[in-house]
């Protein structure tokens, strides 16, 4: 077991993890680096099997169509290909039947997201054990299945331990292989990708170049500077440079424990259209969901519990931590330094994952599992980074960018652009009055958010008077008085 309290500091801790990664870890499942799992996938262009760079572990059986365009999971043709134990699958089927009372084989297949040919064999095995019976014939070779008293008794025992009865989980090694195949480290955004991602922001060439180098590195970023200059807006647009979508499992199985990964509150599902080429190639493994490449933003509400696997005691299922849900995407720690936990505590939790690109998580059983730590982390703060963290941590986030106030030329260009976007009549005279009266005369600093916010106030002012939205000295004065009254 890893001793986090022994003397020697961070270097000693890294040595322990290196030893664990290259040796055998009691109670740890195969993880991200050593020993790595297998992902078998084919290129539709060449129609040949390729092994991922992680192809060393014999237990994984997930298959996927892989190409330069992406990673696509293929439906398993047998239970063995799922790398999930038969008893675990049978438990989910029985719990579903306990909930429904009776269901056809096709309905069960759709519920647990396995092909009918795989489910049919399992149902016949359950019938042979006298846990289910054929209640009546259904379409084609299907039947309506109902549980026996013995089946209901067993289902209740399973439900007491865990009530989950959704899609069959993906094995942990197959999930790790899926992350590796879709890793941000495999993607190096081109300059035109970055231009497209930041097209709606006003960035100087110097700022664009610094951001481009940081994003291309894939190593994380510190954005710091005064509030209102678009740090969060920049962070939220980084994901778009890496591609539109990825595949994630609905749930993961690790040592028999079910970890829910797909989260509608964090992930935006992107359903496949009927004409998608993946459907022409192979049948999709419905245990995986195509989502928009995730951007997860957390602020002052972040706690250490959000970074660990949590157990729902009512259902018996586990919930994946935030960093796991953000794999292959972007995780933004907004307002860094204002969380309920100290910056040192948060950064100590992540100092090893940032360095090694994998994390150790504890299961309810006490076992440790090694999972990928494969996301672009952005720390956004109004505070000075050197006042929050020490040199050892700053070294692991090599790109630190000061998001400074706009120049007057940038401020003017942004005002014209926002007027065009919001369909507000532009007035050079009104803008000059704003700059002279409400900035130069007061010594107030310009912020990138001011044009958007002030023009919103101008629009409301004009609506109140029943006028078309347009800049004027009167409208600007009213907006400035309301907006800057306490600033």
Asked if 327 and 269 sit in the same domain, the reply is yes
Predicted local confidence at residue 266, as pLDDT: 92
> Is residue 52 over pLDDT 70?
no
Confidence at residue 229, expressed as pLDDT on a 0 to 100 scale: 86
Q: Are residues 227 and 120 located together in one domain of the fold?
A: no
Region 388-397 average pLDDT: 76
Query: What is residue 22's predicted lDDT score, i.e. its pLDDT?
Result: 35
Query: Burial of 394 by CB count in 10 Å (0-12 exposed, 13-18 middle, 19+ buried)?
Result: middle
Q: What is the CATH number of the domain that holds 103?
A: 1.10.10.10
Specify the pLDDT at position 429: 96
Do residue 391 and residue 247 come from a single domain?
Answer: yes
Q: How confident is the model at residue 218 (pLDDT cuts 50, 70, 90)?
A: confident
pLDDT of residue 282: 56
pTM above 0.75, yes or no: yes
* SS3 category, 55: coil
* Averaged pLDDT score across all residues of the chain: 82
Residue 415: the pLDDT is 94
Instruction: State the Cα–Cα distance between residues 312 and 17, nearest whole angstrom.
Output: 29
Judged by average pLDDT, the poorest of 33-37, 193-197, 238-242 is: 33-37
Three-state secondary structure string covering 10-47: HHHHHHHHHHHHHCCCCCEECCCCCCCCCCEEEECCCC
Look at residue 203 and tell me if it is in a domain. Answer: no
- Percent of the chain whose pLDDT exceeds 90: 53
Mean pLDDT of 116-139: 92
pLDDT for the residue numbered 347 = 80
| Structure confidence at residue 29 (pLDDT) | 43
- In terms of Cβ atoms closer than 10 Å to its own Cβ (0-12, 13-18, 19+), residue 145 is buried
pLDDT in tens, 363-372: 988 899 999 9
Provide the CATH number for the domain around residue 417: 1.10.8
Give a yes or no: residue 445 inside a domain: yes
* Statement to judge: residues 146 and 274 lie in one domain: no
350 and 234 share a domain? yes
Own/partner pairs, 443-448, CB within 8 angstroms, 24+ separation:
444/484, 444/487, 445/226, 445/405, 446/405, 446/406, 446/408, 446/411, 447/226, 447/227, 447/228, 447/229, 447/405, 447/406, 448/202, 448/228, 448/229, 448/230, 448/405, 448/406, 448/410, 448/414
Same domain, 382 and 430: no
Residue 419 placed within a domain: yes
What percent of the chain shows pLDDT beyond 70? 83
Inter-CA distances, 257 with 206, 260, 333, 366, 388, Å: 49, 10, 29, 11, 37
Residue 370: φ, ψ to 5°: -100, 125
Residue 313 located in a structural domain = yes
The residue range of the domain holding 279 is 171-186+216-402
pLDDT in tens, 253-276: 999 899 999 999 999 998 776 555
- Nearest of 295, 360, 378 to residue 329 by alpha carbon: 295
User: Looking at the domain assignment, is residue 35 inside a domain?
Assistant: no
Bridge partners for 260 per DSSP: 251, 319
**Statement to judge: residues 432 and 350 lie in one domain:** no
Asked if the model's pLDDT at residue 69 lies above 70, the reply is no
Are residues 334 and 434 part of one domain?
no
Question: What's the whole-number mean pLDDT along residues 49-71?
Answer: 41
Least confident of 38-47, 70-79, 242-251, 459-468: 38-47
What distance in Å separates the CA atoms of residue 86 and residue 82, rounded to the nearest whole number? 10
pLDDT of residue 249: 97
Q: Reply yes or no on whether the pLDDT at 401 is more than 70.
A: yes
The reply to whether 178 and 162 lie within a common domain is no
Contacts of 120 (CB under 8 A, 6+ apart): 105, 141, 142
Q: Has residue 278 been placed in a domain?
A: yes
Domain boundary among 369, 402, 435: 402
Residue whose C-alpha is closest to residue 368's, from 360, 379, 378: 360
Mean pLDDT over 385-396 rounds to 75
- Render pLDDT for 284-333 as a digit per residue (tens, 0 to 9): 899 999 999 999 999 888 888 999 999 988 888 999 999 999 999 999 99
Domain's final residue, options 339, 371, 402: 402
**Number of structural domains the chain divides into:** 3
User: Using 50, 70 and 90 to split pLDDT, how confident is the model at 450?
Assistant: very high
- pLDDT tens-place string over residues 157-167: 999 999 999 99
Do the beta carbons of residue 164 and residue 256 sit within 8 Å? no
Check pLDDT > 60 for residue 24.
Answer: no
Q: Which pLDDT belongs to residue 45?
A: 32
Sign of CA dihedral 69, 71, 74, 78: positive
Question: Same domain for 365 and 346?
Answer: yes
Instruction: Give SS3 for 283.
Output: coil
CATH code (residue 345): 3.40.50.300
User: 463 in a domain, yes or no?
Assistant: yes
| Contact of 368 with 361, CB cutoff 8 Å | yes
Point out the domain boundary residue: 381, 402, 423.
402
The owner of tokens 């539709």 is: 44
Residue 345 is assigned to a structural domain of this protein? yes
- Concatenating the DSSP letter of every residue in 343-355 gives HHHHHHHHHHHHH
Taking the mean position of all CA atoms in its chain, how far away is CA 166? Answer: 21
For residue 338, pLDDT over 90 is answered with: no
98 and 140: one domain? yes
pLDDT for residue 411: 94
> Same domain for 325 and 178?
yes
Partners of residue 134 on adjacent β-strands: 145
Measured in whole angstroms, the distance separating CA 433 from the mean position of its chain's CA atoms is 45
**Secondary structure element (H or E) that encloses residue 324, with its range:** helix 322-325
């Amino acid at each position: 077991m890893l001793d986090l309290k022994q003397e020697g500091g961070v270097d000693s801790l890294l040595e322990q993890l290196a030893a664990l990664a290259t040796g055998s870890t009691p109670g740890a499942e195969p993880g991200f680096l050593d020993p790595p799992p297998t992902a078998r996938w084919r290129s539709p262009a060449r129609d040949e099997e390729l092994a991922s760079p992680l192809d060393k572990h014999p237990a994984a059986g997930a298959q996927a169509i892989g190409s330069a365009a992406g990673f696509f999971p293929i439906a398993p043709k047998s239970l063995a290909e799922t790398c999930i134990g038969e008893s675990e699958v049978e438990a989910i089927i029985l719990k579903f039947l306990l909930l429904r009372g009776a269901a056809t084989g096709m309905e069960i297949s759709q519920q647990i997201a396995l092909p009918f040919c795989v489910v049919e064999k399992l149902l016949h095995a359950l019938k042979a054990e006298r846990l289910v019976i054929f209640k009546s014939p259904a379409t084609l070779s299907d039947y309506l299945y109902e549980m026996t008293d013995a089946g209901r008794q067993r289902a209740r025992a399973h439900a007491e331990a865990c009530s989950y009865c959704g899609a069959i989980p993906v094995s942990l090694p197959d999930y790790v292989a899926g992350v590796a195949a879709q890793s941000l480290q495999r993607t190096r955004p081109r300059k035109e990708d970055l231009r497209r991602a930041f097209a709606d922001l006003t960035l100087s060439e110097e700022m664009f170049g610094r951001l481009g180098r940081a994003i291309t590195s894939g190593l994380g970023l510190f954005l710091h500077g005064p509030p209102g200059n678009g740090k969060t807006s920049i962070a939220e647009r980084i994901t778009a440079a890496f591609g539109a979508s990825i595949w994630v499992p609905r749930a993961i199985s690790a040592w028999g424990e079910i970890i829910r990964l797909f989260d509608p509150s964090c992930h935006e599902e992107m359903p496949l259209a009927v004409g998608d080429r993946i459907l022409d190639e192979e049948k999709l493994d419905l245990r995986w969901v195509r989502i928009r490449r995730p951007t997860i933003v957390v602020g002052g509400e972040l706690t250490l519990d959000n970074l660990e696997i949590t157990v729902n005691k009512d259902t018996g299922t586990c919930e994946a931590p935030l960093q796991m849900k953000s794999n292959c995407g972007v995780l933004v720690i907004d307002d860094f330094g204002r969380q309920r936990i100290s910056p040192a505590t948060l950064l100590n939790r992540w100092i090893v994952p940032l360095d090694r690109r994998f994390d150790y998580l504890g299961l309810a059983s006490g076992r440790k599992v090694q999972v990928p730590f494969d996301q672009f982390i952005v720390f956004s703060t109004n505070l000075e980074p050197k006042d929050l963290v020490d040199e050892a941590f700053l070294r692991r986030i090599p790109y630190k960018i000061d998001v400074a106030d706009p120049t007057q030329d940038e401020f003017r260009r942004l005002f014209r652009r926002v007027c065009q976007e919001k369909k507000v009549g532009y007035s050079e005279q009104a803008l000059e009055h704003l700059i002279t009266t409400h900035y130069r005369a007061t010594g107030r600093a310009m912020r990138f958010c001011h044009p958007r916010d002030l023009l919103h106030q101008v629009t409301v002012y004009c609506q109140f008077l029943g006028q078309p939205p347009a800049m004027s000295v009167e409208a600007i004065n009213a907006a400035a008085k309301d907006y800057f009254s306490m600033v």
